[in-house]
Every structure is written in structure tokens, then in C-alpha cells.
Chains A and B, each alone.
Chain A
Amino acid sequence: MTPTQTQPLPPPPQLAPGAFTHRHLLAIEGLTRGEITALLDLADTYVAQSRLVDKKSSLLRGRTLVNLFFEPSTRTQSSFELAGKRLGADTMNMSVSTSATSKGETLLDTAMTLNAMRPDILVVRHQSSGAPALLAQKVTCSVVNAGDGSHEHPTQALLDALTIRRRLGKFEGVTVAICGDVAHSRVARSNIYCLNALGAQVRVIGPRTLIPAYAERLGVTVYHDMREGLKDVDVVMMLRLQRERMAGALLPSPREYFYYYGLDFEKLSRAKPNAIVMHPGPMNRGVEIDSQVADDKAVSVIHEQVEMGVATRMAVLTALAQHLSNGADA
């Protein structure tokens, strides 16, 4: 049944006071289970809102959200844009090509210029680890890290956690295998911190050139044999093989990679029978994931992840805006 526009909307969702007190969202590392859970609970309500005909609320009315992307991205940028719009904020996208910075303007100059236009929330993606943290020290608005180098991609981890929770209903006793280029992946780092904080068991799977030597220190179990690593897992999280990040030759060929680490039904058969398959996108079909798996709606939740992405980002923006209203307009 489709809800009609005449239905009264529920009161705008809010976080409990004190549930999330950070001014910025720069990383998952350091967040508590309570903070993450509060964001996921809030995101759940936004999933419902986003399925209504009238998806829009006015919680962020008058607020300005700026997407500052130094790296090209369609899905994350549009997801933040939609999230902002559904909350009633004015949104602006700035894609800064690398050529703009080669004209001589530094990252901080660009950010300070934007800051002078008084945005409330700055969503930043940058190819260098720590760039959003650097900006957060200098600007007066809230900063959301939308992916920095090989460091973190916190909203991706939150949307992945929301997807898992809605499918499996819990994290305790759940085993998640993160497969592929863990060494260079911000998605992997954020997911490891997030899933560990929520109580899941995390494995990482990949060849030795793509797994950091100190990976165990992150609280994961390392596997180099994918069939062994997938045994009895509940969630298979594939990573994009970011070939552009490969400084040297870390792999001999995509063919060999697919043979040993590409997800196909044969390898997936080691996982639990109802295991779900995730991918942060965009996918390299035939490199890290077989199309048959990616497109099988019985196992793949890849499109659901995208839907959860908008709701999760709405929750993050709401959480940060609540802080803003406490005097950031001075």
C-alpha cells in the first residue's frame, strides 16, 4: 500500500540529547557503540520518510550544505545532495578538479573561501588522508568526511551497518568478511572500526600485498585463502579494486586476482546459506565480483546499500545540525 500525502507526518525525528555531541564526522575510529547505534536508529526513520511520496521535511530549512569533492564521485556526492534536500537544506556541489589546485590555490585557501560564504555543513572528499581533519581545524562549520585517501569513509561504514542490521537484525554473533584491497581502502578501515564497535566479528581476506602487515592490530582475523576466509560468514563485503591507487605492481593481473579473490558462486558457497553480499560501488565486474553474484537479488544487497546511504547521510546531517543550532551562528 502506498501512503498518501494526506497522512499526517510523524514528528520530525530527533536524537536523544547527548546521543551524538561531535561537531564533525571525520572518522568512525573513536565513536562509541552508543553513538553509532543512535545514528543507525535515526537513519531507520529516514528510510521510512524516503519511501513516502512527500520525502521532504524542513529540519534543515535555511541551512546550507556544500559538497566539496576533490575526487570525482557520482554516488556519494548525489547521496549527500539528496540527503540535504530531503531535509530542506540548500545544497551546492563543488567539484574541484586537480587542475584547479595545480593553479596554485591550496586546499585550505579553497576551504576558507567557501567558509566565508557561511555554509553550515561542508562535505569533503579528498585524495589525501587527513584532508578533512585539516579543514575541520580551520573552518567554522561542521565537516563531514566523505572519504579521505586511504584513511576513512565513515558514512559508508554507517550505511553498511544499517544494511546489515536491517537484514540480520543484530551484530552480536555476526561474522563479516571484508575482501580485497584492504591496504588502500578507506571503506575497509571505517567498516572494521564500525563493525568491531557494534560487536560483529570481522575477517579480512586478500593477497599479502593488499593486506596491511599490521592488520591484526585493528581487531580482525586475516585470511589469504578466500575459500577458507568465507567459511560460515554471514556477510561478504567486497571492496573495489582501486587500480588507480596501485603505486607499484601489487598484483600480476586482474585475471589472476579474479581467479583467487573474485567473488563467484563457487566461493560464496562456503559462506552461510543465507549470507548477503555487499559492495560499496562502483563495481569492477569480472575483477572483484562476478556479475551473476552481483545481480542476484537473493544474495546481493548492493542496491539496498545505496538506498540506506541517503537515509544514513540524512541522519548524520541531522546529528551535526543539532549541534550547529547550539550557537554556531554567532
Chain B
Amino acid sequence: MNAHRTAYINARLIDPASGLDAPGALLTEGRTIADLGPRLFNEGVPEGTLTIDCKGALLAPGLIDARVFTGEPGAEHKETIRSASKAAAAGGVTTMIVMPNTNPVIDEVALVDYIERRARDTALVHVHPMAALTRGLKGTEMTEMGLLKDAGAVAFTDGDRALANARVLRRALSYARTFDVLVVQHAEEPALSEGGAMNEGELAMRLGLTGIPKLAETMMVERDIRLVELTGARLHFSQVSCAETLEVIASAKGRGLPVTCGVAAHHLALNENDVGAYRTFLKVSPPLRGEDDRLALIDGVLNGTIDIMVSSHDPQAPENKRLPFGEAAFGAIGLETLLAVALSLHNVHDASLIDALKPVTSAPADLLKLPSGRLAKGAPADLILIDPGYPYVVHGDQLRSRTKNTPFDGLRLQGVCLRTVVNGVTAYERAPDAA
């Protein structure tokens, strides 16, 4: 008896890691992928194997979202690991990387253990924490990176806070290299962005809002790259938002430096004009920039300057968002819209499906050294079935996150997840007639 064997037949296999895009089938056995390929099951599916007819849908690795904030521990009214994982499963995300910006901050081994235990006991998808880069996110003392790495932290970051002190960052990078851990920076010079609410420019001037200049990001990236040159450590910029930063990163990559960067889905789909008349759901950090920047970011993903795409899922309660724009909290939810934005690279910008899905599958897996994010024998059976062209209108109140602060409310997107498989078991299945 072959327990937990499932055959996925009549699929279009999409594997960004290998470049495979072909009709075929896939077999999972227990928690792993046992076999796949165009000719698999040509002789029929063996007896005793559960068979799922994919009916021509895309079968791809589940998405890895490398930037997710939850409220657990400390702000469970915003989002728990479980509620976020429900949104993740519905959005085709099979691995969430959660940020350490909780209360208490994830800066000790016991707290990494706590996240992993809560994830194991409550989550529908895989959850891995990034640990704090500095104790309490205070930006002064580094955390126990070696021990935290052994406990399961996949990278080190102060989350939505920039590590501004150059001396602390220099030492943290130097120490990080000892254990070959990844450091993740939120690049925004706080002295230049302080008090800011949206992109600095004509719109901010007209709305009477304090602007956040692009320079706050670009100059910190430039500075940090010098520190990478000095220390040789791996540094990842969590979210880039403007064309100028891409130039700096492309040049550093050209020099062979171990620098990578990510982009938030909303920066690829929206621009500062969407803020309109003070719509606080569009208030994110870094801020939405101009249309030229948005187009440059899409180019950056397609030409490889940008390595990964993230949702930057950041639930905020109504009392933090139903405020005048300047007083409202930063942050937007995005677990359920990440897939559609990734597919827009294919649907709107003519990229191949392989190129569209790579920044949310194999690229983050490689960056974080995870075994998932690929269709390969022996890889984890984390899979999604996708209808890439399905058009729909986002209704914020129908999303599964505990808070509904989506910047896409009322907008049209294309592409849905039909089924999400985690560890070989279906964690989500789209209702057949769901609108």
C-alpha cells in the first residue's frame, strides 16, 4: 500500500527552477514529489493512487513569500499565524517568511522556537521566521545569529526598520559572514524619511503631505553596498521602489558583489496617483512612487536586477488606518493578491510564465536556501494549480486576512489559485463557482 500517493494528471507543468513548461503529470508520495514529466502515467495511473485531473491548469511550485508580517505574538487582533496562513493558502503561497516585528520581538532562540511551534500547530502552510538583526530592533546590539540560525531563522532583519547606524551594520555584516547568514535591510535613511507619508513630489505637495524622497532609499543602498564590499557578507534589500536604486544595485551586481533585492507586489501594480484623495490603504513603506518607477521595477524583475517579489503583507486594524493620511499606519495586506500580480508579468507585460513565477518560487528558495519552490524529484510536495487568465475584481471584505487593508480593493486582477497543496496534502481548494 502506497500511503499518500497522489497523481496530478492533465497538467501544464511549470517549473521556473529548471525552465520546464510542458504538458504532463506529477506524482507525490507522502510529503515529497516522487516523479514528474511529460510521459509520466502514459501507461495509466497505478491502482491505489489518488488521482487529481488538473484539466489543463498550470501545476507550479507553491509560492514563497519572503516578507509577511503577522500580529503573532502581541497583536493577534490584526493577524495570527493561522489567519495569515489561510490567506496564504488561498493565494497559492505555501511558504511564508514572517518578520520579527512582533511583541515581543523575535530576537531570541526561545521566540524562534515559539514561532515554529505555533506554525506547526496552527498554520496551513510552511512558516519560517526571519530573526531580528539587532536586539529589540533597536539598531544597536546584534542578535545571536549563530544560535538563531541553528534554531531555524532563515535570515536576519529589523523588518520595517532600517539599520541606520553604519558602524553597527558593518559589524553585523562582518559577523553574519562568519555563519554565512543572509542580512536583510529595509533601505530608507530615517533622517530623510522621518515624518513622511508618501512619495515626495507634486502630489504630496498638493495634498499637503510630507514627502519621502527616493534619495532616502537610494543613498542607503549605496552606502550599504560599500559595507558589503568591505565585509563580503550577503545583503538583501527587502523592497526597492525606484529606478535610481535599481541602477545602483545593477552596478553592484555587475561588480560581483553578493547583493540581492526584492520588490513588493503593490509597487509593481500601483503608483502614487492611486493614493488619490488620501486613501490610507495605499500608504505603504517605502511609498508608492511614480509611474516611471513602476515601469522600471517591472523591467528590473524581468532583467534580473530584482531577484524576488514579495507581498509585504502587513495587516493593519481599522483604528490605525481610518485616520488622516499623515497619522495612519503604513502597511497593506497582499498574500491573496501576490499570485495575480506575478502573473501580470505574463498577462500584461509579455513575460513567459517561467519568468513571471520565478521571483515568487525558485528565486526566493535559492536566496533563503529552502528545498521548496521547484518541481523536482525529492523536493517538498508544495504545489499549486493555477488558472492564469481568470479575471476577477478584488473585494477587500472577501479576503481571508483578519484585517482588510488591501490596496487592490475594487481593482481588476487576473489569475487565481485553484488548489494549494502543502506537504502533499490539499490545504485549499477553490470553490467551483466562486465569483
The CB with the most chain A CB atoms within 10 A, among B200, B206, B278, B324, is that of B324
Q: Report the bound CA distance from A151 to B322 in whole Å.
A: 18
Binary CB contact string for chain B from 315 to 339 against chain A (1 if under 8 A, 0 otherwise): 0000100111111000000000000
Contact A108 B326 (CB under 8 A): no
Q: Which one of A130, A134, A150, A247 has the highest number of Cβ atoms from chain B below 10 Å of its Cβ?
A: A130
Within 8 A of A (CB), among B171-196: 194-195
Q: List A contacts of B327 (CB < 8 A).
A: 128
- In this assembly, does B207 line the interface, its C-beta being within 8 Å of a C-beta of chain A? yes
Bound CA span A212–B200, Å: 10
Q: Which residues of B contact A213 (CB under 8 A)?
A: 200, 205
Which residue of the partner chain, among B194, B209, B323, contacts A106 with CB atoms under 8 Å? Answer: B323
Chain A residues with Cβ below 8 Å from B206 are: 29, 189, 218
Would you give the shortest CB distance from A210 to chain B, in whole angstroms?
13
Interface string of A20-57 (1 = CB under 8 A from B): 00000000010000000000000000000000000000
Q: Which of A106, A129, A247 contacts B195 (CB 8 A)?
A: A247
A149: nearest residue on chain B (CB-CB)? B208
| A interface size (C-beta, 8 A) | 25
Kindly state whether residue B202 has any CB partner on chain A within 8 Å: yes
Please tell me if the beta carbons of B323 and A107 are within 8 angstroms of each other in the complex: yes
- Asked whether B208 lies within 8 Å of A134 as measured between CB atoms, the reply is no
Q: B194, B200, B278: which contacts A129 (Cβ < 8 A)?
A: B278
Q: Across the interface, which residues of B come within 8 angstroms of A108, CB to CB?
A: 322-323
Interface of chain A residues 203 through 261 with chain B (CB within 8 A): 212-215, 217-218, 247
Shortest beta-carbon distance from A131 to chain B in Å: 4
Q: Which residue of B lies closest to A136 (CB)?
A: B277
Asked whether, in the complex, the Cβ of B324 is within 8 Å of the Cβ of A149, the reply is: yes
Q: Are the CB atoms of A149 and B326 closer together than 8 Å? A: yes
Give bound CA distance, A106 to B280, whole Å: 15
Instruction: Contact check, A130 vs B277: say whether CB atoms are below 8 A apart.
Output: yes
Chain B nearest CB, measured from A224 CB (Å): 17
Residue of A nearest to B322 (CB): A108
- Asked if A81 is at the interface of the complex by the 8 Å CB criterion, the answer is no
Q: Which residues in window 273-321 of A have CB below 8 A to B?
A: none
Q: Chain A residues with Cβ under 8 A from B324's Cβ?
A: 107, 126, 128-131, 134, 148-149
Closest chain A residue to B319, Cβ basis: A106
Contact indicator B325/A128 (Cβ below 8 Å): yes
Residue from A106, A128, A213 with most neighbouring chain B CB atoms (10 Å) = A128
- A189: chain B residues within 8 A (beta carbon): 206, 208
In the bound complex, how far is the Cα of B210 from the Cα of A150, in angstroms?
A: 9
Contacts of B201 in A (CB 8 A): 214
B325 and A130 contact, CB distance less than 8 A: yes
State in angstroms the CA–CA spacing of A133 and B327 once bound together. 14
Q: Which residue on A lies nearest to B194, using beta carbons?
A: A247
Alpha-carbon distance A130/B277, docked complex (angstroms): 8
- Nearest CB of B to A195, in Å: 16
- In the bound complex, residues from chain B placing their C-beta under 8 Å from that of A217 are 202, 205
Report the bound CA distance from A148 to B201 in whole Å.
19
Chain A residues whose C-beta falls within 8 Å of the C-beta of B210 in the assembled complex: 247
A152 close to chain B: CB less than 8 A: yes
In the docked arrangement, what's the CA distance between A131 and B277, Å? 11
Q: With A108-B322, A128-B326 in contact, is A212–B205 under 8 Å at CB?
A: yes
Among A106, A152, A215, A247, the residue within 8 A (CB) of B208 is A152
Q: Using a CB-CB cutoff of 8 Å, which residues 67-107 of chain A contact chain B?
A: 106-107
Residue A186 at the chain B interface, CB threshold 8 Å? yes
Give residues 140-171 of A contacting B (CB, 8 Å).
Answer: 148-152
Report A-chain residues with C-beta under 8 Å of the C-beta of B208: 129-130, 148-152, 186, 189
How close is A146's CB to chain B, nearest CB, in angstroms? 14
B205 & A130 in contact (Cβ 8 Å cutoff): no
A214 to B207, CA, bound (A): 13
Whole-angstrom distance between the alpha carbons of A150 and B324 in the complex? 12
User: Would A106 and B322 count as touching, CB distance under 8 A?
Assistant: yes
Expressed in whole angstroms, the Cα–Cα distance for A151 and B319 within the complex equals 23
Q: With CB as the reference atom, state the residue of chain B lying closest to A151.
A: B208
List residues of chain A with CB within 8 A of the CB of B322. 106, 108, 134
How long is the Cα–Cα vector from A160 to B73 in the complex, in angstroms?
55
* Contacts A128-B325, A129-B326; A151 near B207 (Cβ below 8 A): yes
Nearest to A26 among chain B residues (CB) is B277
Give the chain A neighbours of B209 by CB distance below 8 A: 129-130, 149-151
CA distance in complex: A217, B206 (Å) = 10
Q: Which residue of A lies closest to B205 (CB)?
A: A212
In the complex the two chains form, what is the Cα distance from A1 to B322 in whole Å? 55
A18 to B18, CA, bound (A): 66
Contacts of A130 in B (CB 8 A): 207-209, 277-278, 324-326
Q: Would you give 25 A-B contacts (Cβ < 8 Å), ordered by A? A: A107-B323, A107-B324, A128-B324, A129-B207, A129-B325, A129-B326, A130-B207, A130-B209, A130-B277, A130-B325, A130-B326, A134-B322, A149-B209, A149-B324, A149-B326, A150-B208, A151-B208, A189-B206, A212-B205, A213-B200, A213-B205, A214-B205, A217-B202, A217-B205, A247-B210
Given contact pairs A130-B324, A131-B324, A217-B202, enumerate 18 new A-B contacts (beta carbons under 8 Å): A29-B206, A107-B324, A108-B323, A128-B323, A129-B208, A129-B209, A129-B324, A130-B207, A134-B322, A134-B324, A148-B324, A149-B208, A149-B209, A149-B324, A149-B326, A152-B208, A189-B206, A247-B210
Which A residues have a C-beta under 8 Å from some C-beta of B?
Answer: 29, 106-108, 126, 128-131, 133-134, 148-152, 186, 189, 212-215, 217-218, 247
Residues of B within 8 A of A (CB): 194-195, 200-202, 205-210, 277-278, 319, 322-327
Among all A-B residue pairs, the 4 with the closest Cβ atoms? A151-B208, A128-B324, A150-B208, A130-B278
